Structure 1
Amino acid sequence: MKKQLLPICIVLLLTGSLTAMAQAPDSSRIKALKAVTVTGQKPLIRQEADRLIYDFQADPDSKGSNVLEIMRKVPYLSLDAAGNILLKGNNSYRILINGKPSALLERDPSQLLRTIPASTIQQIEVITTPPAKYDGEGLTGIINIITIKRKADGYNGTVNASEKFPANGPGAGASFALKSGQLGISAFGGANRSDQPHARNDMQRHSAGEWPAYLEQQGDKRTGRRSAYLGTEISFEADSVHLLTAQFNISGNHSDGKGFLQSNLSNPLATLQRYYLNSADDGNGNSMDAGINYQITSRKNKNNLLTFSYRYMTNGRKQGYEQIFTDTINYSIPGYRQHDNETFREHALQADYVRTFKQFSMEAGVKGIWRNNNSDFRYEYYQPSSGKFEPDPSSNRFNGNQDIFSVYNSYTFSTKKWDLKGGVRVEQTFMSAAFQSDSMHVDQQFLNVLPSLIINRKLNSNSSLNLGISRRLKRPNIYRLNPFTDRSNPSSESTGNPALRPSSITDLQLSYNWSKKMSVNAGISYSYNKHMFMEITSFDTTRYITRTAIQNNVRGGGLALNYSINYPILRWLNLNINGNAVYISVKGGSDETTVRLHTWIYALNTAAAVRLNKGWRLNASMNYIGRNQVSLQAYANAMISTSFGFNKELIKDKLSCSGTINNPCTQYRNNHTTTKGDLFTQDNHTQEYFRTVNMSINYNFGKLRQDIKKNKRGIKNDDGN
């Protein structure tokens, strides 16, 4: 028992005393750039000249966890209170799978990664200063997820099954690889069921103005979700010069929910409005992408490449929401429905050329992207006279297009002590938006010049210093452009903005990496944003509702401190600490309100693992999230979560089982979000299951001898759309 308590005590003690800062460098991975490898008893982190790599297969916790849970331990990455991924404290980034964009992760990456077993993933690469070859979008960088690729003549794979209760539910995932002569095939997939049988939601709002009022709402909701995904990749090596690869990914999900809400609006003298609401919602989502890459390699120099790529992607979502009102006072709507059908399609063509010399290399390429977004949204009100729901005239159809044309050129120079990479990317964007029912039409075009410079100085065999400077973009996607107004809560409305323009960021970061028995990554960065997308909420004094819209006139900067420590204290005891602190200073607003924000955001994750005899392993972790800034006007309360688990190897390198209990002392998580405006203060409270138990079993099979070749270039739409 003492051995089991030891890692927990060490985690709690070190959590309060460590204030180190760490951040990994960023540059482009070319043969000329040498890697710095973190060494240790079982290395989890490797720092290369252009990226930081976290090895899932070196982390025994991956056998009983999903990808999202392990991401808490990856340098630069953190999760907010809602489980959304943050890179350097920011939610603007691009996620790739095996170096390529995937429709699986276009809409809600956190939701999908929560369903993927970590045992099916080889490693995660974090690129915080992407070189010029990457698309300009994704303000803070790129997260590249590499699935298991142990491919040779023969086959191998892994299978994982898990059950989590009382919330969420069962899930299963698998990966598989096959190689036969010149042909190689790999695949990963899975399915998951996630249920929340209880989610309490309350809200209080105090409004000022000529007629002050107080709104109080109390409600509860049940939700359920079913999802499945499949990803495949095929490689055909015609000869030593010609390589053809293709990928295909598909996913689908269904969600439903039922809830009730009691609402009362009053002033000191009387009840202004009251109703009792029963609601039901239903939604379906799907995504698909397919691509092909043709690579030609020089016979004289295998690092000289010419690659042609094509990719098609589509995803869609249908959502329906219905409300029935009873026991009403001064509320005339007996029933209401809203529907929104969104579709996104994209075609992309790309050509890349790489030429290398002894200490010098050059990259160049061109690319075209053609996107189409459309939304068909309808509102219906119940008419007691006919007993039917009748369409509302405000229903409409929105159609938007984005055409992006880009060219890039970059150069790398490498010596024994120095790696330098500089380049520039030029992107021309054409945007248009139109509505079916009126003459409103939006046309915009933007030219963006995006330079980048990466300098890596190797101090000795165990340490390096990196400086990165870059400019990045974020273009508005269908979810921000869509003017559909969400009226699922009668006391508030939210809508997109079809006139949004791209946001830009200039980023400067300096980082230090040291690795021996203990590995440390420490860094500091400063970013300045223009035309940021942020939600602005104002209060309508005539209707007593809040209206939230996305605005584009927010600007400001952020100073980020990142740190990561991985330390094998003893042969059988390992400690991991990962965190960041970000200071934000921005201002912006709308016609109704102007907002200034100056605040710190903190995140810290500590984890300890104990390796015992006979294949047993114990682990404990604690995750702290400080007051989280949800938007320019809204912030959420701080949160601490804990986890304790075990892993038992039943058959060496083949079969293992694991169990985890999360937050054993707290049954429910109470979330508080406060939003403040010129004329109102609103507090939202939700209560969800926090204590959960997870059981998992993992099986590896197969034996392989020779790696399958992969394209070194391909379409990488790193643009966050």
Structure 2
Amino acid sequence: MKKNTFLFILVSIIAGFVATVRSQTTASFTIKGQVSAQKRAIEAANIMVLNASDSATIKMTVSDKSGEFMFQQLKTGNYLIKVMAIGYETYYSNPIKLAFAQTLDIRLKPEEKELTGVTVTTKKPFIEQKLDKTVINVEASPSNTGLTAMEVLEKSPGILVDKDGNISMKGKPGVLVLIDGKPSYLSATDLANLLKSMSSSSIDQIELMTNPPAKYDAAGNSGIINIKTKKSKTMGYNGSVTVGYGQGVYPKSNNSINLNYRRNKVNLFGNFGYNYYGGYQELNITRNFRTNNGEDILSIFKQQTNMKRRQTNVSYKVGMDYYASKKTTLGFVVNGFINPSTENNGNTTNILDPNSILQSTTKAASQINSNLNNVALNLNGRHVFDSTGKELTMDVDYVHYNTLNDQMFINSFYDNTGNKMLPDQLLKGNLPSDINIYSAKADYTQMLKHKIKMEAGFKLSYVKTDNVSSYYNQQNNQWVMDSTQSNHFIYEENINAAYVSFSKELSKKWSIQLGSRVENTHAKGIQLFNGVSFDRNYTQLFPTFFLSYKPNDKNQFSLNYGRRIQRPDYQDLNPFYYFLDKYTYSVGNPYLLPQISQNIELNHIYKGLLTTGLSYGVINDLITQVFNQVDSTHTTYVKNDNIAKVQNYTLSVNVALPITKFWKINWYNQLNINQYDGFVNQGPIHVSGINYNTNFTSSFEVKKGLNMELGGFYRTQTQEGTIVANEMSQLNFAISKQVLKNKGTIRLNCRDFLNLQHFSGYSHFQNVDVQLYNRWDNRVFNISFTYRFAKGKAGVAPRKSAGAIDEASRVKSNN
């Protein structure tokens, strides 16, 4: 392991050193400009710098949402600019003799051209660094083939995923995950399972925002991750089909079809996915039970659990946009998934005396059958009042989740010679859950006097969860309800929010944005079995501040501040028991309080190649998993609790640049310092830790249409509340080839080909003394084939408004 880790660090350092040396080579000249048509900026236009003598491609980029682009590090010479965009004639500039910086105003002409058999692709970088967010273009990396959304996140810069699938960003926990701008409302466990079943082939982009503006929900201490699924606005019909197969210890499969048809004022779209996952997990836990003074060991529990999981996910999305006029668009989207799974676990617990001599053994066999179903309906509208930017968008949403969870546990007890000591204990559980979410929102944008942009809006939401936990013990061949472990919990939550923000360009170099969001939360819950209830009502203010300074074309600075909230997950509030075996379980906590964070961040971008960030954050009433140990029964359980105030200091550096014409690299580095001060189980906790993590992606264009990629990540030992997680690493390799006249793509990859990634750690505090080791089906070989097709006339895509979740005439955000 140490040798592999050293190899990983050495590869990263060499790649980063080459990148750094390369970045010191100054560009001779710059060509920048804007692409527009019919007074509209054209986003995602494919722009190329060609050698004027032989039309060889020198550089390539894509225009941003404002139609702007920039080429740097161009030497003196004669060049042509070529621009391609769907729905427009290809543009060629006159020869440009580059002896000084050039600014171009490129205006495209619409075309009416049949697209039969023609596939136009736009080449984007895997990672785009912007001042307010980081954008991951999923399909740009061949190593994403066959992966799940969770696995793509895991290799994204600044993202860490712990042993239970909990996500942190830039060293801070509490991330709000949006799908097409909408929160999932799932618990951390269910969200992790959803992301593990979502195929990367259905994802277009992933946006990472550490300090979102006021129009976004204030939820999420460390920011927002917005997963944007694929969509199209091309006239006629177009789509793609992807089939994929993966082989680890067990097989996996990812398949999807995306369809779009647009004619006149109607745009129909839909996608369907079928994914299968077979995998295993090996979990080893060693627990020492000590005397009251904590010095002498009384007994040792060595526990080994082997879990085999089979999971199927069927997902769908169907929608329509109706362009009632040039200014008004109406639409609806229906989407959902069916996610059945079966988990078979075998557990052996050896109970030893202080001298590690076997005293007895407990064996547990369990089967868990679950089915998570979801359906969601969105009605949306958008109206543009005039050309000055006055705009109104509205959304109404209904989301329903239904979970069925049936469990069966058999515990057998043996002495140190293997003979049975006691009769078997049988326990079965039935844990259904229903979640209903209703929400409505509106966003309004208008330009005021003195070129001040105002954004304002509101959101109303109501959530009700109905959760039942029924456990039964077998007595005399009869199932008898266990009232000590059964419960019925109903939770209701109403959040009313409003926001306003103002932004202005103070000069060509300075711009500012000020915003504030107010949220009133009314939450109440009741346990019907014992009548215990709570009722909370509180109002919070969440200000945001953004300041940008651009002294020249090479440098850009930004300073931002935000206050955010992380409310407990619905399932974490359920006071239910979830068993691994007789001695190990987790339990909910209905007394969890929301955690509040404040974050301030300073960023600098140099030449679009080097991004440096420095941030400070403080979280009060941190929600985190805590191990609890009951010495009298030799049981250990995990419960989420508010334990501490956490201070976080983060330094991040990202290098993204071409090393040569065929070799590009993206190298992300992050240093964190976390300090925890508070109480756990009425005892003080004062711990701190420093950790470093890095990931890199190195891509090679071997020849036209053939690409290779090497990437991976490494993180040092990390303090996660009361748990210390040891180092972790991974290396990936991928290759992709364009076939069938660029209408098809074959991708091969191997995830974690050295089989480095696993989790190990420990928790030592008060009477808890636990060591953990966890390994899963991580080394996987994937192959996939994607075929793209289109027929019709290219149309002009409608303008996209600013903001990650304000996409034109499509699924609007649910802030």
Once the two structures are superposed, residues 317-369 of structure 1 have per-residue CA deviations (whole angstroms, 9 ceiling, x without a partner) of 22222121224456666211223222221111222221114621111222211
1:640 corresponds to 2:729: yes
Aligned residue identity for 1:202: N
Structure 1's 346 and 566: CA in aligned 2 closer, same or farther, altered over 3 A?
same
> Could you list the per-position Cα deviations for residues 651-694 of structure 1 after superposition, in whole angstroms to 9, with x for gaps in the alignment?
2331111211233344x855323122312311122333333211
Q: State which of 552, 565, 581 in structure 2 corresponds to 1:473.
A: 565
Q: Partner residue of 1:14?
A: 14
The residue identity in structure 1 corresponding to 2:206 is I
Indicate the SS of the match to 2:304.
strand
Counterpart pick for 1:617 among 700, 707, 711: 707
Structure 2 counterpart of 1:493, from 581, 585, 588? 585
State yes or no: 1:424 paired with 2:516.
yes
**RCO greater where, 1 or 2, for CA within 8 Å and sep 6 or more?**
1
- Mark the structure with the bigger radius of gyration: 2
Change (3 A) 1:499 1:115: closer
Q: Which moved more, 1:208-217 or 1:62-71?
A: 62-71
Q: 2:487 aligns with which of 386, 396, 404?
A: 396
The counterpart of 2:776, out of the listed 663, 671, 688, is 688
Q: Does 1:506 align with 2:598?
A: yes
Checking the alignment, whether the CA contact within 8 Å between 1:278 and 1:324 is kept in structure 2 is yes
The corresponding residue for 1:367 is 459
The residue identity in structure 1 corresponding to 2:362 is Y
- Provide closer, same or farther for how the CA distance between residues 466 and 108 of structure 1 changes in structure 2, counting only shifts above 3 A: farther
In the other structure, the counterpart of 2:764 is: 676
Q: Quick one: distance in 1 between partners of 2:158 and 2:726?
A: 22
- The separation in 2 between residues aligned to 1:530 and 1:379, in whole angstroms, is 36
Secondary structure at the aligned position of 2:283 is classed as: strand
Please state how far the C-alpha of 1:400 moved relative to its aligned partner.
0.8
Instruction: Please name the residue that 2:236 is paired with.
Output: 154
The range that moved more, 416-425 or 260-269, is 260-269
What residue number does 1:267 align with?
Answer: 353
Which of 159, 166, 169 aligns to 2:252? It is 169
Q: 1:136 aligns with which of 211, 218, 232?
A: 218
CA distance in 2, matches of 1:52, 1:353: 25
1:311 matched to 2:391: no
For residue 409 of structure 1, report the CA deviation from its aligned partner.
Answer: 1.2
2:702 partner letter = L
Distance 2:172 2:19 in 1: 21
Unaligned runs of 5+ in 1: 1-6, 21-30
- Compared with structure 1, are the counterparts of its residues 120 and 702 closer, same or farther at alpha carbon in structure 2 (3 Å cutoff)? farther
Per-residue CA deviations over 1:107-136 (Å, capped at 9, x if unaligned) read 644544444454543332222211111111
What's the CA shift for 1:497?
Answer: 1.2
Judge conservation of contact 2:273–2:314 (CA < 8 Å) in 1: yes
Deviations 1:29-86 (A, max 9, x none): xx99979867579644445554333334544555665544444554443444666543
Letter in 2 for 1:427: E
Q: What's the counterpart of residue 240 of structure 1?
A: 326
Distance in 1, matches of 2:529 and 2:645, equals 34
The answer to which of 701-710 and 133-142 deviates more is: 701-710
Write the distance in 1 (CA, Å) between the matches of 2:352 and 2:124.
62
Contact 2:344 2:366 survives alignment (8 Å): yes
SS at match of 1:480: helix
1:256 and 1:92 map into 2 onto residues whose CA distance is: 29
Q: Deviations over 1:355-411 (max 9, x none)?
A: 11462111122221111122100111121x2x1321111211000111111111111
Q: How big is each residue's C-alpha offset from its partner over 1:225-250, in whole Å with a ceiling of 9 and x where there is no partner?
A: 11121223321110123221222220
Equivalence for 1:96: 178
State whether structure 2 residue 270 is matched by structure 1 residue 187. Answer: yes
**Separation (CA, whole Å) in 2 of partners of 1:12 and 1:503:** 36
2:429 is aligned with 1:338 = yes
What do the CA deviations read for 1:475-516 (whole angstroms, capped 9, x no partner)? Answer: 112121111022332212321111222111010000011235
Q: Which moved more, 1:49-58 or 1:203-212?
A: 49-58
- Per the alignment, do residues 79 and 572 of structure 1 end up closer, same or farther by CA in structure 2, a change over 3 Å counting? farther
Matched residue pairs, number? 694
The CA deviation string for residues 160-202 of structure 1, in whole angstroms up to 9 with x for no partner, is 1111113351110232222111111222331111111x43332
**CA separation of 1:715/1:601 partners in 2, compared to 1, >3 Å: closer, same or farther?**
farther
Distance 2:146 2:704 in 1: 18
Residues 303 and 47 of structure 1: is their aligned pair in 2 closer, same or farther, counting only changes over 3 Å?
A: farther
Contact 1:537 1:677 in 2 (8 A): no
Higher deviation after alignment, 138-147 or 526-535: 138-147
SS of residue paired to 1:459: coil
The change in CA–CA distance for 1:19 and 1:525 in structure 2 (over 3 A counts) is farther
**Could you tell me which amino acid in structure 2 is paired with residue 538 of structure 1?**
N
- Between the aligned partners of 2:709 and 2:591, the Cα distance in structure 1 is 50
Residue 412 of structure 2 contacts residue 423 of structure 2 at CA under 8 Å; is this kept in 1? Answer: no
Amino acid at match of 2:701: R
Q: Is the aligned partner of 1:453 residue 2:545?
A: yes
Cα distance between partner residues in 2 of 1:399 and 1:101: 21
What's the offset of the Cα at 1:12? Answer: 4.3
Corresponding residue SS for 1:509:
strand
1:110–1:280 Cα change, 3 Å: closer
Identical counterparts, % of pairs? 22
Over 3 Å counting, the alpha-carbon distance change for 1:706 and 1:76 in structure 2 is farther
Question: Secondary structure at the residue paired with 1:334?
Answer: strand
Structure 1 pair 168–587 and aligned structure 2 pair: CA distance change class (3 A): farther
Report the equivalent of 1:25: none
Residue type of the alignment partner of 1:297: V
**Given residue 14 of structure 1, which amino acid in structure 2 is its aligned partner?**
I
Cα-Cα RMSD: 3.0
Higher mean Cα deviation, 351-360 or 101-110?
A: 101-110
- Which of 570, 578, 588 does residue 678 from structure 2 map onto? 588
SS in 2 for 1:281: strand
Unmatched segments (≥5 aa) in structure 2: 1-6, 21-40, 42-63, 73-122, 416-420
The change in CA–CA distance for 1:444 and 1:117 in structure 2 (over 3 A counts) is: closer
CA distance in 2, matches of 1:100, 1:605: 28
Are 1:576 and 2:666 matched, yes or no?
yes
2:299–2:353 contact (8 Å) kept in structure 1:
yes
- SS of equivalent residue, structure 2 residue 572: helix
Q: Which residue of 1 aligns with 2:497?
A: 406
Once residues 502 and 219 of structure 1 are traced to their aligned partners in structure 2, the CA distance between those partners, rounded to angstroms, is 33
Shift of the 231–86 alpha-carbon distance from structure 1 to 2, 3 Å rule, reads farther
Which residue of 125, 135, 142 maps to 1:53? 135
Secondary structure class of the residue paired with 2:234: coil
What is the CA–CA distance in structure 2 between the aligned matches of 1:403 and 1:49, rounded to whole Å?
34
- 1:104·1:229 contact (CA, 8 Å) conserved in 2? no
The answer to which of 587-596 and 525-534 deviates more is 587-596
Partner of 1:23: none
Confirm or deny that 1:522 pairs with 2:604.
Answer: no
Compared with structure 1, are the counterparts of its residues 90 and 475 closer, same or farther at alpha carbon in structure 2 (3 Å cutoff)?
same
Task: Report the Cα offset of residue 253 of structure 1.
Answer: 0.8
Q: Of the candidates 730, 738, 742, which is equivalent to residue 649 of structure 1?
A: 738
- 2:102 aligned residue: none
1:209 aligns with 2:291: yes
Aligned-partner Cα distance in 1 for 2:13–2:613: 23
Instruction: Provide the rounded CA distance (Å) in 2 between the counterparts of 1:355 and 1:273.
Output: 73
